[in-house]
């Protein structure tokens, strides 16, 4: 279907964006790549009188390096992220995730900020970003705040972003020499059914894991119990602890049966993917150390 008629705005600066948003309120929406929004508009699930194209807003562009984090501007596409030398060197697992998102047409147009804003549960980025400790920078006309990705997604298609706010940047901590991340995603349709992100950090021979699950629920889920069970377990002994820990955790997960799979299958997938990602992250972290 066609998108219902709208007025198109192409502001060049962030202030103009906020002016337009203030003027039209709920009747306006911002977009960059449009890969999520346009589908919803064409399906007429959403309607806006005013669409604000952010692509000319200079403040939102680019990927920058701070001391300990990579700042991914709201206009950075998945393709850019996947191929940026700085991203590849600093947060390689996230670059690799970006390279596997959807298909090339989506990757060259779609942005990370757009993906997070849309908050489609069957999506890859949130779980890994949560595991990496990434934050979302939200700006409004007169303020700026930071929200961890782990808290940013409130539920299906809903986030902590206020109507008068925009994501300006996603800040991802640089992966340290003693840590490694692994991301595993699985699904037989276009979008993932379940995904798992694992971070493994080696401190003087002691390992600590960060484990997040995505797509199975409506927001990223922190597998703290598994992290606790694995804390300090030597790599050689992981296999003794890991299956029971992941199965116990996933068996208690709430999941829904849908096109992507039945609830029990998704729980099983979560457990399998978690075990694989934990083993790989542990191996990678230990090889980095040596």
Give me the residues that bind another protein (CB under 8 A), please: 1-2, 4-5, 39, 43, 103, 186, 188-191, 259, 261-262, 265, 268-269, 272-273
Complex with another protein: residue 97 or 136, whichever CB lies closer: 97
Closest to 95 (Cα-Cα) out of 116, 109, 81: 81
**Number of C-beta neighbours around residue 189 at 10 A:** 10
**Cα–Cα distance for residue pair 57/75, rounded to 1 Å:** 9
Q: What is the nearest approach in angstroms of another protein to the Cβ of residue 150?
A: 26
Complex with another protein: residue 201 or 268, whichever CB lies closer: 268
Q: What is the nearest approach in angstroms of another protein to the Cβ of residue 214?
A: 16
**Number of C-beta neighbours around residue 286 at 10 A:** 17
Burial class (CB in 10 A: 0-12, 13-18, 19+), 230: buried
Complex with another protein: residue 171 or 267, whichever CB lies closer: 267
Q: What is the nearest approach in angstroms of another protein to the Cβ of residue 120?
A: 10
Convert 157-166 to b/e letters by CB count within 10 Å (16 or more is b).
bebebeeebb
Looking at residue 5, the DSSP 8-state letter turns out to be P
Enumerate helices (H) and strands (E) in the chain, giving the number of each.
Answer: 12, 14
Q: What is the nearest approach in angstroms of another protein to the Cβ of residue 261?
A: 5
Complex with another protein: residue 171 or 184, whichever CB lies closer: 184
Q: What are the beta bridge partners of residue 69?
A: 173
Complex with another protein: residue 47 or 206, whichever CB lies closer: 47
Complex with another protein: residue 5 or 252, whichever CB lies closer: 5
Q: What is the nearest approach in angstroms of another protein to the Cβ of residue 272?
A: 4
Q: What is the nearest approach in angstroms of another protein to the Cβ of residue 189?
A: 5
**Cα–Cα distance for residue pair 160/114, rounded to 1 Å:** 14
**Cα–Cα distance for residue pair 195/216, rounded to 1 Å:** 8
């Amino acid at each position: 279907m066609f998108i219902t008629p709208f007025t198109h705005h192409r502001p060049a600066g962030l202030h103009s964006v906020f002016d337009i948003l203030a003027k039209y309120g709920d009747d306006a929406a911002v977009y960059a790549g449009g890969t999520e929004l346009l589908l919803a508009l064409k399906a007429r699930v959403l309607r806006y009188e005013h669409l604000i194209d952010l692509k000319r807003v200079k403040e939102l562009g680019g990927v920058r390096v701070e001391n300990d984090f990579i700042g991914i501007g709201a206009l950075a596409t998945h393709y850019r992220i996947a191929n940026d030398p700085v991203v590849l060197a600093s947060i390689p697992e996230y670059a690799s995730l970006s390279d596997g998102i959807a298909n090339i047409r989506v990757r060259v147009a779609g942005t990370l900020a757009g993906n997070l804003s849309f908050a489609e549960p069957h999506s890859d980025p949130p779980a890994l970003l949560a595991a990496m400790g990434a934050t979302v920078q939200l700006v409004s006309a007169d303020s700026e705040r930071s929200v961890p990705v782990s808290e940013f997604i409130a539920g299906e298609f809903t986030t902590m972003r206020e109507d008068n706010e925009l994501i300006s940047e996603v800040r991802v901590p640089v992966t340290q020499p003693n840590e490694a991340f692994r991301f595993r995603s699985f699904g037989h349709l276009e979008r993932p059914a379940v995904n798992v992100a694992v971070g493994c950090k080696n401190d003087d021979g002691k390992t600590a894991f960060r484990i997040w699950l995505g797509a199975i629920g409506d927001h990223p889920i922190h597998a703290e119990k598994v992290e606790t069970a694995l804390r300090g377990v030597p790599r050689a002994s992981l296999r003794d602890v890991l299956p029971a820990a992941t199965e116990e955790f996933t068996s208690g997960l709430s999941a829904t049966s849908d096109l992507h799979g039945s609830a029990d299958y998704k729980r099983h997938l979560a457990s399998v993917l978690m075990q694989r990602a934990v083993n790989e992250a542990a191996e990678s972290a230990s090889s980095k150390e040596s």
